[in-house]
Structure 1
């Protein structure tokens, strides 16, 4: 095993821990655990505002130490593709808003499991938008993952939890966003992409939050809002670094550790143990995702796997 591979695994597992932590923070602030519930629009505002500040600090620190690789133009591009950036950021903001809204009502394990449907959405939309050929194995993976989502929706209970539909909407938005990210990755350096994404997202999120904005009360609430953006950006950086140190096909399966962290947070912070339906649905969704990852490896594709657009 190459020396960089264990580091890549550690980076991806830490990334999974942080991503699950953002839904924990969203749930804690959104359900009133810290006092007055914070609207999801304000949570998404904090994610992008403080995320932008974190990205700016990170890139300035790299520039100060002479490490400019993340901000150098890639593929010969000299100017950003502003239209594609705007599309990607709008979808990322929408996915974040829907995820944080769903986290208020659902177990974190269910929210994160449903988010793993985003590669399925990417596959479906790529077939329509980009004309990519979808083979039988990828269709099988999609059907398995969708079966898992159906289990998580619990239709046998007589009513489908509306919050689960929010999580499904988030997965769909992330799926389309991934197509834009794929296009940007061929011409744009990751540092510039992250800065533009978080900067645009800050403008969109701040404007959207105006109707519901109230000044956060208490240092604890402020600390969690700052952490929301900082943690998400840190997860993005770890994700990109892991994919630089090892093939995306190698590190992709470790992304599913997000589910374990989400279940851990549910148990520790909310005394909420996953039931049999949650466990079964999550296992089926992950199985579909692993089949798709395996097929990507066999097909020789090296693009990263995982809903890290947001």
Structure 2
């Protein structure tokens, strides 16, 4: 047995399996958001309404879970409310930008661009948490950024403004990760989820008021599904992180790109072009290397 295999927890295989499940569900949330937003105008919901559904019904699902399992209910503590608020604002903006992106461009391409958030996290960690930023990390970041350039192709006729939304999602979600790191060092996961979805529900509800159009019965059903699936995805992600080392299980999360491409192809007949394939490969390579190197 190799030293590497000895270092891995005995249940790492299950952790990867659970993480792949989380990735599949995250891709489902993008698929639902695409279905809700496709068409625009009267036939599609505004991204602010879609993100409202994500937070409202995720909070409802989480509240039901806590009601059924009172022994797991965390103590109410607002001592770190500034961190919870900052994390939730970033999460709301990032999710809304991502939902806007998938409604207007292929899911696989939007997902690949959003994977740049680890690059943002590394840069911010160097600036805010004094973490070391070495040559190998810079090289991995360069690969990922080159991949994003291939997909976005700024200055060409193939440039998509929706790609900018995905890029904004990556930037903001990268910042959110910094706040999550600070919270997870001192807060139980369930309390983090409750605060995040409660604050997100308030923010998204206020924002959606200004663009509100009455959803159809089918759209209400999809909004409910969006919130429920998101909570399940978050739960699986946390369980995977609990059962395996982060550096070992996080790369499995990037299988969300595969699921996004499969869902988009199966339901919308979208096949990524050569630039999208190449760009996605570079981004995947860059972020996986970034998760492996220490400096």
The alignment's TM-score, normalised by the length of structure 1, stands at 0.88
The 1-side partners of 2:39 and 2:49 are apart by 14
1:79, distance to aligned residue in structure 2 (A)? 4.3
The answer to whether the Cα contact below 8 Å between 1:71 and 1:190 also exists between their aligned partners in 2 is no
For the pair 1:174 / 2:181, whether they are aligned, the reply is no
* Cα deviation 1:161-189 (Å, max 9, x = unaligned): 11101100000000001000000011111
What's the offset of the Cα at 1:226?
Answer: 0.5
How do 1:195-206 residues align onto structure 2 when only pairs under 5 Å count? 195-206=194-205
Shift of 1:159: 5.5
Q: Tell whether 2:74 aligns with 1:71.
A: yes
Task: Give CA deviations for 1:6-41 in whole Å, capped at 9, x if unaligned.
Answer: 3212211110011111111111110139x7111101
- When the two structures are aligned, how many residues end up with a matched partner? 287
The answer on 1:256 being equivalent to 2:254 is yes
- Name the counterpart of 1:41: 48
Over 3 Å counting, the alpha-carbon distance change for 1:86 and 1:3 in structure 2 is same
- Aligned partners of 1:102 and 1:164 also within 8 Å: yes
Map of 1:227 onto structure 2? 225
Q: Secondary structure at the match of 2:159?
A: coil
Partner SS, residue 261 of structure 2: helix
Matches of 2:78 and 2:214, distance apart in 1: 38
Structure 2: segments with no counterpart, 5+ residues: none
Task: Please say if 1:283 is aligned against 2:286.
Answer: no
The CA distance in 2 between the partners of 1:158 and 1:222, in whole Å, is 37
**Cα distance, 1:239 vs structure 2:** 0.3
Which 5+ residue runs of structure 1 have no aligned equivalent?
Answer: 300-310
* 1:156 Cα deviation after fit: 6.2
Once the two structures are superposed, residues 190-228 of structure 1 have per-residue CA deviations (whole angstroms, 9 ceiling, x without a partner) of: 10010000000000000000111122112x211110011
**SS of structure 2 residue aligned to 1:155:** coil
CA distance in 2, matches of 1:231, 1:243: 18
